[in-house]
Structure 1
Amino acid sequence: MTVTHDEKVVREFSEQAEGFADPRLNVAFTRHLERLVRFMEPELDQEDVVLEVAAGTALVSRVIARRVRHVTALDLTPAMLAEGKRAVDRDGVTNVTFTHGDATALPYLDRSFTLVVTRFSLHQVADPAAVVKEMARVSRPGAALIIADLVRPEGVKGDPDRIERLRDPSHGTMLTAAEVAGLVTAAGAEVKRAEAFDFVRPLQPWLELSRTPADTASRIREELEDELAGGPATGMRPSKADGELHFTHSHLFQHAIAG
């Protein structure tokens, strides 16, 4: 029986949900969260009605909730939403609503939200253009659209998506910053500003978060070690620090205005 991409996403992130509460494993999601909030800060308002698309455990929703009127966190994986709901209940946050739904077919009327954000989703979904189009559709005119994602640097050697899919079969395709901007423009929004940066992260916690099987993890490790020794480029830009293997992710924050 053929497994759809969405089914792969639900399967993989159901396995990973518990790990998202572990700051050691979830370093990429937690480390740059404050940086994203600073990027969003000029757009945040106490009257905002916010939607977080493909929210996962709703990390963004939870950190901005006290600064806006209401946040809706939508995700395809029930286990991720349940983890986020436990967190808001524990922290006494009462203005976040959790919704099970598809980012490519949002269950909301046109022009429903004053700010729409998605983080680490476009590289994961099968149809990133549909996600961006839906984000623009449910935004009120002049609303802020915030996209934060992994991107593929221009001119990188090797195929990082191949390694990413070995680690997590639900991984889709990393876009370039220009391609993300193109999707936003095609959806009728206008890009206003962007911020890009690289993050060198340790390999082992990344593999543990996804619960990558030991034989596959060994293969990934061997390929990165081989590249460091002069072998073929993997696209992961490996390095070593204190004897530990690392790799590099490129991040993009982009702010656009809905038409």
Structure 2
Amino acid sequence: MNTHPAPATRETGGAIAPHLRRLLEFVEPDRDDVCLDVARGRGPMPAALGPQVRHLTAVDAMPAHAPGGHGASGTNGRMSTVEFGTGPVRIADGDTPPAAATREERRPHPLGPDRTLVKADASALPYRDNAFSLVTARFSLYNLGDPEHVLRELLRVCRPGGRVVIADLVRGNLTGPDRDRIERLRDPDHPGTPSIARLTEMITSAGGSIRRLDVFTVERPVEPWLAGSCDDATADRVRRALIDEVDGGPRTGAKPRIIGGELWFTQSWAHVAAEPIP
């Protein structure tokens, strides 16, 4: 297996990391799309997706408990299936979903004249039914309140023939929840990692029809991820547990290894494209 990190590629507005480019290729944005992106805090999607659609609205969403707070078919020219290369995606740019994003919430969003930023409750979006042809949510579904309520809202505001694209962490259907021990040690508010089956089941229960699914392994450096720890002592405990596993100690489920003198670990990510059922 090739262990060299994939290079960043150029897109409108600058360099885009390989994993984000993969998501954009999965989304298949169209120049006629009216897009809604829902995230908690500042994320990369508005800047990456905005130049490729007619209009983009970015929602900086709050959890419901906080204060204040047709898919892929041949008929519309979209792919019925998507195939990607095998092997882990390599992330070296420190993009850390989702806890560390809260540190970025006060930074301005890079929105242009055809892009709008609003604050809203993701479980009660302030838009009429069928308002958007494309709705995206990257690493936000489990951080914005009840994920089933959020999914129903994302599907409600998506027009028939449009698509809702969810990108989030997952675990294999046969993988136990032990993997969440490390995630919760780093971030006590971590909501837990759903299985692939659970994520797709929630989407269908909320009124969506699954059109495409892309599940892949992401290999990333530990240190940028540990920047989202609640304190330095917690980061040290997580780091020690991962190093102990590399040295033959108890398994954490994170599959750590040393690459170029750095400690790396793995996560599983999923992209799901769904269409609202009329």
Query: What TM-score comes out, normalization by structure 2 length?
Result: 0.73
Cα 1:124–1:227 shift into 2, 3 Å: farther
Picking from 47, 59, 66, the partner of 2:44 is: 59
Are 2:121 and 1:98 aligned? no
Are 2:56 and 1:71 aligned? yes
Aligned-residue offset at 1:125: 4.0
Please list every run of 5 or more consecutive structure 2 residues that lacks an aligned counterpart in the other structure: 1-15, 63-101
1:140-178 deviations in whole A, cap 9, x for unaligned?
112111011111123335622222122223321111111
Contact preservation (8 Å) 2:172, 2:195: yes
1:91-122 deviations in whole A, cap 9, x for unaligned?
xx211111111212212222211111100123
Distance, in Å, in 2 between the alignment partners of 1:220 and 1:110 is 44
Distance, in Å, in 2 between the alignment partners of 1:201 and 1:62 is 23
SS at 1:159's partner residue?
helix
Pick the structure with more helix per residue: 1
What corresponds to 1:180 in structure 2? 199
Aligned-residue offset at 1:252: 0.6
Distance, in Å, in 2 between the alignment partners of 1:247 and 1:149 is 17
SS at 2:203's partner residue?
helix
Please list every run of 5 or more consecutive structure 1 residues that lacks an aligned counterpart in the other structure: 1-28
Within 5 Å, give how 1:227-238 maps onto structure 2.
227-238=245-256
> What number of residue pairs does the alignment pair up?
223
What percentage of aligned pairs have identical amino acids?
41
Query: What TM-score comes out, normalization by structure 1 length?
Result: 0.78
What corresponds to 1:142 in structure 2? 161
What corresponds to 1:112 in structure 2? 131
Aligned-residue offset at 1:70: 1.1
What do you get for the CA RMSD once the two structures are aligned? 2.2
Cα 1:60–1:117 shift into 2, 3 Å: same
Contact preservation (8 Å) 1:54, 1:119: yes
What corresponds to 1:214 in structure 2? 232
What corresponds to 2:244 in structure 1? 226
Distance, in Å, in 2 between the alignment partners of 1:248 and 1:193 is 23
Contact preservation (8 Å) 1:48, 1:69: yes
Contact preservation (8 Å) 1:55, 1:118: no
Contact preservation (8 Å) 1:124, 1:173: no
Deviates further, 70-79 or 237-246: 70-79
Contact preservation (8 Å) 1:123, 1:175: no
Distance, in Å, in 2 between the alignment partners of 1:132 and 1:200 is 28
What corresponds to 1:36 in structure 2? 23
Cα 1:207–1:69 shift into 2, 3 Å: same
What corresponds to 1:83 in structure 2? 107
Letter in 2 for 1:240: I
Letter in 1 for 2:107: E
